[in-house]
């Protein structure tokens, strides 16, 4: 049987779309869905890349049956309390849209929470590993505490229960020690600079360094359940590496206060 020649006639498909038109159409269709404009998706992180030049995060979110490409732009990534890692199970909030040039759709994330473990705990553990890698918990860096301190500095809130506890306990154990309070927040975003200022004072001033034969102990108190208050002390960089790590700063704050016993 002789083959049949069929001439291809382009005018038979007057409504044919270009590839770009098709992808743009799919993008509009996806973005028109209210369900895809703001949703939560849970899965496991893989192929995580922190693009340091731009600050954007690129990763794949997957489960046992499928996966989706995802991106979190710098404006949202900068607000995160922890950095995702491959294998981490998370719940992501965001929207779905299409990438026209690549002909694919992906998840645009604006928030993320660990699935099963709190974000603050993960941030604390990541910070702890980083500081351990820098050798900041090396016992050789620590200074011995005086057996009988004559001067004790306290960095904490002046209105919290912690300062009362310190006054009472110190009054029983070291009745002749002089207490100096540096008032500071111990939780919240404004806490780190105030805590650092307290460390500056106790490391630089004469009373803080305990010179003229005195012995100094420094106590940093942060209350609150779950250890959340202590997370900020990890953000203090040099100021919190050691209790009395010798520091050098340009300015000296002058708002420490002596405390009475009771």
Rounded Cα distance between 13 and 198, Å, is: 76
Q: For the segment 92-123, what is each residue's pLDDT rounded down to a tens digit? A: 999 999 989 999 999 999 999 888 765 666 77
The answer to whether the CB of 202 falls within 8 A of the CB of 216 is yes
Number of residues assigned to the chain: 262
Q: For the segment 40-65, what is each residue's pLDDT rounded down to a tens digit? A: 999 999 999 998 889 999 999 998 89
Rounded Cα distance between 161 and 217, Å, is: 20
Q: For the segment 126-152, what is each residue's pLDDT rounded down to a tens digit? A: 788 788 888 777 888 777 777 888 888
Give residue 175's pLDDT band: very low, low, confident or very high (50, 70, 90).
confident
Lowest model confidence (mean pLDDT) among 66-80, 143-157, 199-213: 199-213
Average pLDDT of the residues in 253-259: 54
| Global model pTM greater than 0.85 | no
Average pLDDT of the residues in 205-210: 56
The answer to whether the CB of 42 falls within 8 A of the CB of 115 is yes
């Amino acid at each position: 049987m002789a083959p049949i020649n069929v001439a291809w006639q382009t005018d038979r498909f007057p409504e044919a779309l270009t590839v770009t038109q098709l992808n743009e159409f799919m993008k509009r269709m996806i973005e028109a869905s209210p369900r895809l404009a703001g949703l939560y998706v849970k899965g496991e992180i893989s192929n995580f890349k922190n693009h340091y030049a731009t600050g954007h995060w690129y990763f794949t979110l997957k489960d046992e049956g499928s996966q989706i490409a995802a991106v979190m732009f710098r404006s949202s990534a900068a607000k995160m309390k922890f950095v995702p890692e491959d294998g981490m199970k998370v719940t992501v909030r965001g929207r779905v849209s299409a990438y026209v040039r690549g002909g694919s759709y992906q998840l645009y994330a604006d928030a993320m929470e660990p699935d099963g473990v709190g974000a603050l705990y993960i941030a604390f553990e990541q910070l702890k590993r980083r500081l351990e890698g820098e050798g900041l918990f090396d016992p050789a860096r620590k200074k011995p505490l005086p057996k009988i301190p004559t001067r004790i500095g306290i960095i904490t809130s002046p209105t919290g229960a912690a300062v009362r506890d310190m006054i009472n306990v110190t009054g029983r154990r070291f009745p002749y020690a002089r207490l100096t309070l540096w008032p500071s927040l111990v939780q919240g975003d404004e806490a780190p600079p105030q805590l650092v200022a307290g460390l500056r004072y106790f490391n630089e001033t004469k009373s803080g360094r305990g010179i003229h034969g005195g012995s100094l102990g420094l106590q940093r108190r942060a209350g609150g359940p779950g250890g959340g208050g202590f997370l900020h002390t990890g953000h203090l960089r040099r100021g919190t590496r050691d209790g009395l790590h010798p520091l050098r700063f340009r300015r000296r704050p002058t708002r420490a206060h002596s405390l009475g016993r009771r």
